[in-house]
Every structure is written in structure tokens, then in C-alpha cells.
Structure 1
Amino acid sequence: MEQNLTLTFMDGGETAARLARPFQPRENEIEITLPDQDLRLAYPLYDLCCIKLHGKAASASDAGAHPAEEVETATGEKFRVQVMGREKYPLGFYGLPIDRDSPFKSIFFTFHGVRTQPQERPIGNILRDQGLIDEQTMNLTLLEQQKLRTRRVGEIIAEQQHIPQSTIDREVDTVRGDMGRVPKNIRVGDILVAAGLVTREQVEEALSTQEKGKKKRIGTLLIEKGLITETQLLSALATKFGLRFIDLENLEPSPDALEALPREVAVRMRVLPVEVRGRVLTVATSQPTDPTIGDNLRFTSDLQIELVVACSEQITQALESFYVKTESQVRDLIGELSEAAEVENEEGEDSQFNESDSQIINLVNKILIDGYKKGVSDIHFEPGLGKQPLGVRYRIDGVCQVVHKISPAYRHAVIARVKIMSRLDIAEHRRPQSGKILLRYEGKKIEYRVEITPTVGGNEDAVLRILASSKPLPLNQMGFSDSNIEEFERILTKPYGIILCVGPTGSGKTTSLHSALGHINKPDRKIWTAEDPVEITQSGLRQVQVHAKIGFGFKEALRSFLRADPDVIMIGEMRDAETAKTAIEASLTGHLVFSTLHTNSAPETVVRLIEMGMDPYNFADAMLGILAQRLARRLCVQCRAPYTPNRAEYDNLVHAYGEEWFAARGMPAYSEDLTLMRAVGCRDCHQTGYSGRIAIHELLTTSEAIRAGIKKGVMAEELRDQAIRDGMTTLRMDGIHKVFQGITDLNQVLRVCL
């Protein structure tokens, strides 16, 4: 019987699937098939938060006597489960849902995917159940804890300063009895200082002792009495919070782990990084009751965190022993940025901020520059509800990653700072606002396009798109296959016609068009461009920034260009039928026209334009080519590893490519010598296994059969089949070519190609 399941990823995404083979929790991956597809995909457990197995929930008798626990995942989901076999598996544990109406019969939680997992049992009960203390000892200790929490300052002073309690009581009663001369709320300490019995410092010492007594936990009291050891207490706390307890005596942290966490951070937080597996850093702590440790470590290391419990003495010794060996190699992944970011055109409003505001200014500037240095495309500021922190996510290589969590006390100040830098209305919280920020860093001008969007709870999200000035890439550096670059260069030599670049937002369309313009940018050609915004500048191009707010959009720019003696026109995007129609007409009257469109494939673009009202005969005559593209994550060249795929993985590649065309296009046959590359993870790629992106292309050019099909209004599938017969390589095909070249892998190709 097929097992249906739901995969929940660390970034919050979910995928419904079926098990391709039995799941083995001791392995590092799970193999699945997607609904209505024959493809087998393997996902490493390091990418997953939990695996929800569909089916009827087990009965209470099946679950045994395991206590109920609430498990909160890193994505914020909460489950009440009975935990099974926590010690069995190195990467996670099973939980059986308490709710009999749950759609899941069991859930496998990865350790790094769990934020909190406290048992409802008090720590005293756990120690008792483990046979470390008896019922009487527990009750007496709880009574002592209660006395400490209610102990009066006068009692503490009497004990510490050896003053009879009767003397203190008499002095207090005398002063408080004279209600005409003293306030009703006068403190005992003030009375005793005024009476000359103690000094102010001795009162402060007593108050400190009182405060410590109120916070003293039962475990600490049991250790002070010599009834249990620290090791026994920490083992019980590990049980309570669902964490592993480890012995550091004969364990040596891996070099990658020590490099992932700066020494000063580890010493300050009293933690020890133990190992790195994929994107997960295992860290030992002796303070499992501190809820801030995990988030602070994620902020600093830029990795997912699995906490384990170890003795404080062992952690201290390990910090002294191991960090000495690698301290010179350790660099702070986040750290303080020494470079200052100068905000352009700000008219000294910084001077009105106090010390706290100055910290906010520095924080925001550092995040903006940090994002630029890491090659981030977008920075997301996402305030949480209530006491939840302000999350900061970076989109790197097309994937969002949580990199910082800032105290909720600062969320409004951070968003307000972004609005001030963008010259937006900080008093407006109900409507979306758009703006931009200009920064200078190391002599370079960086522009951030800012979008403020109101969200629930009176919050506002801020998303910043980084528009750093850049230069066009030569066509031979764009990732084109030999056949595609030859065909693309051929159509670029045409004197007139229309060339479209299509794909979703962030797929590199503007970069490709500017590379094409750079290829034909000669002194004898007049080239006009209309863009929003101008992201890439080229000498020799006449580039125009459109301003929709003043009525100067793409169609207005296009009309102006046609009266300005153009040879080549580039329109940033064909957003409406009028712009598309005018562009096609311009391409038929002796101009070479470039533009972009948001469509999924080259054949679909033809159908979309016809549905927008374009004349099929005019478009068939005008079209030179349609370039569809995606950006897939590139395997890190520093750590990618060769391997021989098994037969099932090879068959997946053949199926994704298209069985009828695989051999016909000269793709490699299966053999034991066949070598592909797989992701591993290293410091250079932040343990992801990927660094940068590679373009995947689908180039549809015209032939007599294609023109005839456009004029007849055939469906996109017919155009696609005809184009493949004419030699077109689809997006999937081009991606799989790059898999066999060792540039990327099938998962990344399927992630961006339908």
C-alpha cells in the first residue's frame, strides 16, 4: 500500500508526496515520488523540518505510557504528541499525535527542525521517576524553594548581619506606628539604614540575595544539598526538553563546527559547537532552559541549530582545549562590519536620534551592506506578532534564508528607520508605500528598491530589492549551450523583427537582454531602452527610466522612441496590449525590438500574445525568437563530489528529458563509468552545497512550420512539439544537459522548470 506523506521544509514550504521506498530514519535522506508523476526525488533530512505520515492516528494503548509533549517546530507549527524512541535515531524522533482526529498517524521530527519540546512533567517528577530522589526529598525541597521565594528582606538582613530578628521587628514597628511622620510605603531597608543598624550597601546585598532566592530552581537546590550531581540534573533537563545528552569527555569537535561559530561568541554564551551536517550546526549547552540560545546562535552562525546538552565543566574545558588550535582560522560570519555606510542625500536627520536610535541606525546599515556583500537579491524585514522577533531573511540564489532574528522591542524602530532612509511617511501604517535607498560602500553606489506593506497586528513588512550597478555579461558567459548561442547570435544580426525574453520575476531576463544589446552595440546603431528601473548601464545606449506616477510609462516611451530615429528599441516589459501591439508594428517597420514578458515557456508566449489581441499574421512575420529562461542553483565548485548514479536516478533523468528525444539528441547511455556531481557543503557555500546560479534556456526561433502554426492559432503544445522537431531544446532538456555537465543537479532543475 502506498504511503502518502507531507514534507515540511526548513523554509516553511510543504510538499505532498508518496514514499518511493521505505523511510529509514537512520539514513540522511528520504526518497519520494510527487503526485501524478513517476519521478523519484531524494531530499536530505537536513533540509526538512518534519515528515508527516498520513493515516489513522494510533490509539493510546499503541502509544504505550509515554507522556504527552508539545513539540514546536522551527517553522512555528505546534503538535501535541507522544514521543517514541527519542534515543533510537541520530537525526530525529517519531511522535504520535494525541488528537485521534489527526490526519497523520505519525510525524518524524528532525532535531534541528524542533524549536522547543518541553514535557509537561515538572523536573522534580522526572528526577523522581529516574530514581534519583524520593517523594519526601522532592516535597521538602519544593517547600524550601517556596520559602526562598517568600523570604522577607528583614529576615535576610538578620541572618547576614547577625542582628537579632526581634531588634529589626521592634525598629520597624516603632517607625511604622508613627504614621504622622513617615510615609505608609517606606521600605524596611530604609528604616534600618535610618536607624544606623545597617549600611545602604548591606541592604542592596540583602535585596540581591532575595532576588536570587526567588529565581532559584529546584534542580539548583538539589545540587546545593548534594542530593544530585550536575550531570544528573542536565540529563533530566535533556529529557524534559527533548534534547540529546552527550558526554564531551572523548568527543572532539569538527574543524568546520569550530569555524562556524566565533570563539568570542562561544565563550560568551558558554556553548561548544560540535559538528556540522549539511546546513545544521550541533551545539552543546549546559543551559537548556534558556529559550534565546537557539535564535542567537542562528543569527550568528547563519545555520540551522540542533542543541544538545552537556556539563558546563566539560564545555569550559573544551573551549580552552579546542579553540586554541583553530582560533587563527575562525572568522566571524556575521560580526561587526567595520566599514561605514554613508546614506546619500540625507539632510542630517540622524542628529535627532538618541543613543538607542543610533544603534538602530547602525544595525539597519549593517544589514543592508551585509546583504550586498553576500550577493543577496532581496532583504525581507518581517515583524512577528506579540513577543515574536523581527525576522530578517535574505534571498540568495533564488532561495529565502532566515539570517537574523531581532528582539521584538526594536521591530517598529527598524521599520521606521527603513522608511526614513526611503523618504517615506513614517506616520502612515495603513497603506503600502514604495521608495528607494541610496548607499555608498567602498566607493560603489548601491540602490535598494523598497516596498512597505501593512500586515496583521499593526505591523509592516519591508522588502528591499538590491539594484547594485553592474555591467552586461558577454554572451559566452551567459550559460548558453553551443547550439543556443549560435542560433541566438544569428537572430541578433537581423536588421528588424522582435526578440522576446520570457520567464518569472528574478529569472535574469534583463541581464540577458542587456547582454544581447551589448553584443550589437556599435557606433553605427542608435539604441534606445526604456526600463523600470535602469539596473545595468552601457555606454552607447540611450537609456530612459520610466515614471508611471507622472504618466510616462513604457507605451509613452515607445511612442517617443519611434520619433527619435531608432535602429534598436528595448522595452523593459510589455505590460499591456497597446505596448505589445506598438512594439510588433515597430518591428515590422524596420526596427529591431527587444522586450520581456512574464510567461512560463517560449510556445506559451505566442499563445499569450495572440490572446492579448495581437494579429497572428503580423506577429508570425515579426517574430525572430523567444528566449525562455530560468536560474537554477549551481553546485559549489569547491566541494561538489563525483558519483555514479544508480539506474533509478538515471531513468529519472531520461524521463524528465523525454524518452523519445534522449537518445536522438546524443545523451549519454547508462554505464558504470557514468559520472555526475552531487552537492556536499563547505564553508565557501555556507554548507548548502550550492554557490551562484546557472541560466537554463529554451530558444524558440521561427521556421516555416512555426510561422504557419502561429497564423493558424494552434495550441502551445503543438507549437512546442513542432519546435522540438525543428531542434529546440526545452528548459528541462537544457537543465538536464547541465546536470550531465556537473553544473547542477536534477532537484534544482525541477525546482525551476515545470
Structure 2
Amino acid sequence: MPSATPGNPTVAVIGNVDQLDAYLVACAAGRPEPALAGLQVAQAAWRERAGDGGMAAWEHAHRLGLPLVDTARVAAEPGLGKHFPDAAGRRLRATALRSAHGYLAVAVEPGSDEAIVSTLGFVANLPIAPMVASEHAGDEHGSPQDDLDEDQRIARQMGLEPGRAAQERSRHDSELASRWTMIRAMRETLSAAVRQRASDVHIRPGASDFELLFRIDGNMVPQRHIIPEVAALVINRIKVFAQLDIAEHRRPQDGRGTFKLDDGRSIGLRVSVVPSVLGESVVVRLLDTEESLKTIEQIQLSPADRAELDDQMARSHGFFLVTGPTGCGKSTTLYAMLQALRRQPINILTVEDPVEYTLAGIRQMEVNPRIDVTFSNALRSFLRHDPDVIMVGEIRDRETAGMAVESALTGHLVLSTLHTNTAATTVTRLLELGVEAYLLRAALTGIMAQRLVRLTCEHCRTPEEPAPAIRSALGVGPDEEFTTGRGCARCHGTGVFRRSAVYELMRITPAIRALIEPGVDADRMHAAALAGGMVPITEAALRMARQGRISLAEAYRVRAD
């Protein structure tokens, strides 16, 4: 491969089938380097093309000195099993892409080492042209029949006969769940979820088998089906890992653990097991700091709203709330604020349920109702620890709301979350919780209401044809054009890739403060906020749709009426 300019490394990127054929021709002629000379792509150019999620593949190809194949545009041709067995491909995490001119192009996944690349030549019956896949070149989980064969092999290896009743299995659960086979199965599942940027792993029971799904960019993406015998062992292994009772199948259980990837990175896990009529349902939340922990800059606030948020964080006291439905990124915004605040020489304390990410320089505490450690009790204790900033994970009841307001009034900056749909309705909700209006007027400084929108995949962008009702509801003319994603390998067929926050930031101005009275109408407060310059969520989402970042249907989905 031609050497790159110092300080500006490049990697040859094979972007289509014609380029791959030309490379195989060059390999057959014994001169592969000239075929790659015109395909060099610099790191910055690849990041712009593939996003942050594609950088691991670029860096791995550069480290191994191999070309990078854009598997979103170069699909594997069928019928290559005779040259490169599927079982060997799954074991080596490699996929045969094309056979031509006496050579076989094989793409390895990012993370494969030199030993695996060297092994490819012993597995195939043709000379190998190795390359690194920009994403998973083949199906992440094989065909349904491959999955069934693999499950049956695992079951027999564990001493179980697929299809037999499992009455005698309970006394062996702990031993079986700890065996290497199940440890490896769980590791492969979790590693695959992290590679695909999943936020959650679901194991869902069905009438005849279990289904494995990943939640990616807010969408449930099916991965494979698992036979009941293997599913039971995987669930038991997850229970052991999360320190749950594997003999308990009737009551819900919650646990947590830490999973270490092959590259040494640690991923926090929150495990929830719930019994259903068809079997136990498992959800594993993946807490990946590289994927989920953001800075203020990464939240992408407008200049005016960034200045307002900086002003909120610069206050010595006050009550600032981030609101929205479950899963809208409220905690992400608060953690971004905490990361900015901890640069100052101040004392920061948090009480959370649970602590999702551990931040250096901040003392974090978890609620535990079983021993009467609640948000309100923790707040009382915190006030004796000389805090400058207090973060309360969630305002859930009157007592916590009252304590938070009192803390803000006694010289502390208090950050928290609340489940309301808009900034204006947050005020009415706090009044309904029993906070005195005169205290709220004195303490409240700002409210950010937000949603998460799914960004349109750049690789499969196509013109959108919104329904007339959607255009009418959003006030969009019939001549305005929008785009959506049709679905491709890069976005797992969903048409969306990554998510971003859309928000409205309401500063408590004197005009709004004067409206904070028992029985206040949220619409009047919303109108006052608009008069003060607030951009509402619906308008912010519509602006993103007009920029082509999201579809109009997505803007309609997150609208706040």
C-alpha cells in the first residue's frame, strides 16, 4: 500500500464491486499496490463519509496495512461457501465477499488480529485477498437455520436434548450457567450489541422459541431466534452475571454488572428480568460512555441557547429542570452539564436511581428505598456536606420537590428532571405536586424540555412523500420537499442512523415569573415564553426536517402540541 504523508495517514477504500474486481485482477497479476493507489482516503474524509461509528474500521485497516471495503456498497455474493465455509467465517468473524480471477476477497471485522488474517488462507481453498469490513459484511447472526443448528449444538454440548422438558434442569442451573460455552455466548451477544450501537438487548419469550432483539436508535431490530433450552441457559448466565437469584422465576428482578470488551473498554450493564406467561423476559441496558456520555458541545445547542445554558450553570443558586418522556435523553443532558461544572473548583453531589455513569471529582449516591435512602432523605443529608451543586435524578413526589426548591433557595444550584411534555407544563406540574407558588417563583430559573429524534441515514436517503395530514398539522406547504431513509445495511434496514436531541429552553423571565400562581394556565405561560424568544420543540424539529437531517414524519412524531 502506498505510504501516507506524515501527519495525514490514508487507507485504501474499496467502494464498489468494480473497484473490488480491479483489485482482484491486480492481486492475480502480483501487483496489488497500483490498484490501491487511487483509492486512498484520509482519516478526516472517511469520518465525514462514515461518521464516528466507522472510525474503528478505518483505524484497524490502517494498523494492519490492509484495504478497507465499504460493505454498505459491496455486498457478499452468494454461493461462496464452497470456497470459504460459513462455520469458519463465523468463528473467525470474517465474510467471503467475491471470488474472481482466481482470488477470494475476504473481509474481516474490526478488531481481528494478524493471527486471524493469517488463518484465512488455511481455511479457504483459493488464494486470499484480505481486507477490513467497514461494517459487518455478512448477516450479524447468520441464517435462521444456522442459528437453529448452532443452538442445538450448544444444547447438546451442555448435556441437554433439544425439545425435552426441563424439569430436572433447575438443580444444575448455576453450574451450567457458569460454563465457558454460555459465558462465550453471552460475550458474543453483548459485543455484537455494542458494535451495532445498541442501547438495550432484549430476550423476548414467544410461543415456541425466544427472540433476541437490539434497540438501535430507538428501533427494535430483530437479531435471531433462540431455542428454549439455550435461551434458559443464556438467561441464567445473565442472572449470575448480574448477581440475581437464578432459582427465582416468579418475581421481577433487577441487577447490574460491568462487561469488558476485547479492547479493554468497560460497559456498564443494568439487567431487568420480568416473568411472563411464556417465560422470562430480559432487558439489558448498555451504558457505553463512548456512545452515550456526551459533552455540552455534542448536544448541539443553538448559539443563543448555549449562552443561556452557560448562564444557568454560572449561577450560584437556582433550580433548573430538564423534562420530557422516558428515554428522551434527560440524564444525558444533565451529565453533560455536570461534566462542564466539574471543571470549576466547586463541590458537586448527586443522588440518582441508579447511578448510570461514574464521574471523577463528583460524589454520587444511589437511592435505596429498602433502607429508607430516598431522594428527599439524601437531599437532607447533602445539605450538611457543603455542596455548591446538587443533582437530583428525578422529582417524583411532593417531598422531593419541596426539598429541591428549598435547597435552591438556600444558596445551591439544583439540577433535576421531571416527566412533563413541555417547558410550560412543568410549572403547572410542580404546583400540582404541592410546591408553594411564592417559593417556586423565587427558586426556578430555567426549564429545558426535550425529545430524541432519529437522524435520517445518509447512505439510503430518498425523497419523502409525507401524508397530507402531516403537512397540514405542521403547516408545511405542498411544494416543500423532504427526505427519509429507505433502509440499508448501514442502518440495519431502519432508514435512521444515530439520534439527536431537539428541545425548547425556557428562561424564567420576570414576565413568566409573574404568571406562576396556583391554577395558572400552561398556554399563557407558553405564549409568554415564545414572546421571550423560546423556540418550541415542534418548530425546532420542523427546522431539522427542512435541513434534511430528519424526515417530516419524524418531526410530526415528536411534536409537542
Pairing partner for 1:738 from 539, 544, 549: 544
Measured after TM superposition, the shift of residue 406 of structure 1 is 0.9
Aligned to 1:477: 298
Alignment correspondent of 1:367 = 189
Report how far residue 335 of structure 1 moved: 5.4
- 1:569 corresponds to 2:390: yes
State the one-letter code of the partner of 1:413.
L
Superposition deviation, residue 553 in structure 1:
2.3
Q: Which amino acid aligns with 2:362?
A: L
C-alpha spacing 1:361/1:521, structure 2 compared with 1 (3 Å): closer
Amino acid of the residue matched to residue 474 of structure 2? A
1:487 is matched with 308
* Counterpart-to-counterpart distance in 2, 1:261 and 1:710: 67
- The question of whether the paired residues in 2 share the 8 Å contact of 1:653 and 1:736 is answered with no
Deviation string, structure 1 residues 645-680 (Cα, Å, up to 9, x no partner)? 88x8799557426x9xxxxxxxxxx797x6644324
Query: Aligned ranges for residues 3-402 of structure 1 at < 5 Å?
Result: 258-259=75-76, 263-264=80-81, 331-334=137-140, 352-353=175-176, 358-385=180-207, 388-402=208-222
Task: Say whether 1:601 aligns with 2:422.
Answer: yes
For structure 1, the residue ranges without an aligned partner over 5 or more in a row are 1-253, 270-323, 337-348, 660-669
Measure the CA separation in 2 of the matches of 1:262 and 1:497: 66
> Alignment partner for residue 485 of structure 2, among 675, 679, 682?
679
Matched, 1:623 2:441: no
Distance 2:378 2:505 in 1: 28
Query: Which stretch shows the higher mean deviation, 674-683 or 394-403?
Result: 674-683
Per the alignment, residue 366 of structure 2 pairs with 545
SS of the residue corresponding to residue 455 of structure 2 reads strand
Partner of 1:589: 410
Aligned partners of 1:702, 1:354: CA distance in 2, in Å? 55
Tell whether 2:356 aligns with 1:535. Answer: yes
Give the secondary-structure state (helix, strand or coil) at the position aligned to 1:620. Answer: helix
Aligned equivalents of 1:426, 1:531: Cα separation in 2: 27
The structural deviation recorded for 1:443 is 1.1
Provide, for residues 512-560 of structure 1, a one-character-per-residue CA deviation record: whole Å limited to 9, x for no partner: 1121222233343211112222223333322223333332222222111
- The aligned residue for residue 726 of structure 1 is 532
Query: Structure 1 residues 456, 714: closer, same or farther in 2, change over 3 A?
Result: same
2-structure distance, mates of 1:354, 1:473: 35
User: Do residues 656 (structure 1) and 463 (structure 2) align?
Assistant: no
| Alpha-carbon distance in 1 for matches of 2:350, 2:452 | 24
Cα pair 2:213 2:224 within 8 Å, conserved: yes
Alignment of 1:422 onto 2:242: yes
**Matched letter for residue 197 of structure 2:** G
Are the counterparts in 1 of residues 541 and 558 from structure 2 also a CA contact under 8 Å?
no
Question: Structure 1 pair 389/589, CA: closer, same or farther in 2 (3 Å)?
Answer: same
Residue 384 of structure 2 aligns with an amino acid whose one-letter code is R
**Structure 1 residues 260 and 374 mapped into 2: Cα distance closer, same or farther (>3 Å)?**
farther
What amino acid is aligned across from residue 420 of structure 2 in structure 1?
A: T
Tell me how far apart the structure 2 counterparts of residues 265 and 551 of structure 1 sit (CA, whole Å): 64
Q: Is the 8 A contact 1:616 1:713 kept in 2?
A: no
Contact 1:263 1:327 in 2 (8 A): no
Q: What residue is the counterpart of 1:554 in the other structure?
A: 375
The question of whether the paired residues in 2 share the 8 Å contact of 1:469 and 1:537 is answered with: no
Conserved 8 A contact 1:392-1:403: yes
Query: What is aligned with 1:701?
Result: 507
Contact 1:554 / 1:579 at 8 angstroms: preserved in 2? yes
Paired letter, 1:656: L
Structure 2 Cα separation of the partners of residues 366 and 632 of structure 1 = 29
Amino acid corresponding to residue 228 of structure 2 in structure 1: P
- Find the aligned partners of 1:265 and 1:582 in 2 and give their Cα distance: 70
- Larger RCO of the pair (alpha carbons < 8 Å, separation 6+): 2
Per-residue deviation at 1:376? 1.0
- Write the letter of the residue equivalent to 1:431: R
Alignment map for 1:442-453 (pairs within 5 Å): 442-453=263-274
AA matched with 1:551? D
Q: Which amino acid aligns with 1:474?
A: T
Q: Which amino acid aligns with 2:201?
A: I
C-alpha change, 1:587 and 1:268, in structure 2 (3 Å) is same
Paired residue secondary structure (2:494): coil
* Aligned residues of 1:383 and 1:461 also touching (Cα < 8 A): yes
Structure 2 residue runs without a partner (length 5+): 1-70, 87-127, 143-171
Distance (whole Å) between structure 2 residues aligned to residue 420 and residue 395 of structure 1: 23
Structure 1 position 431 matched with structure 2 position 251 = yes
Letter of the structure 2 residue corresponding to residue 610 of structure 1: L
Q: 1:488 to 1:534 in 2, by over 3 A?
A: same
Quote how far apart the aligned CAs of 1:496 are.
1.0
Instruction: Give the match for residue 610 of structure 1.
Output: 431
Q: C-alpha deviations, 1:619-657, integer Å up to 9, x for none?
A: 12211111111111011234435x5x88x8799557426
1:733 shift after superposition? 0.9
Give 1:464 deviation, angstroms. 0.9
Match of 2:231 in 1: 411
Q: What corresponds to 1:466 in structure 2? A: 286
Is contact 1:523-1:540 (8 Å) kept? no
Task: Quickly say closer, same or farther: Cα 1:430–1:722, change in 2 above 3 A.
Answer: same
Letter in 1 for 2:507: T
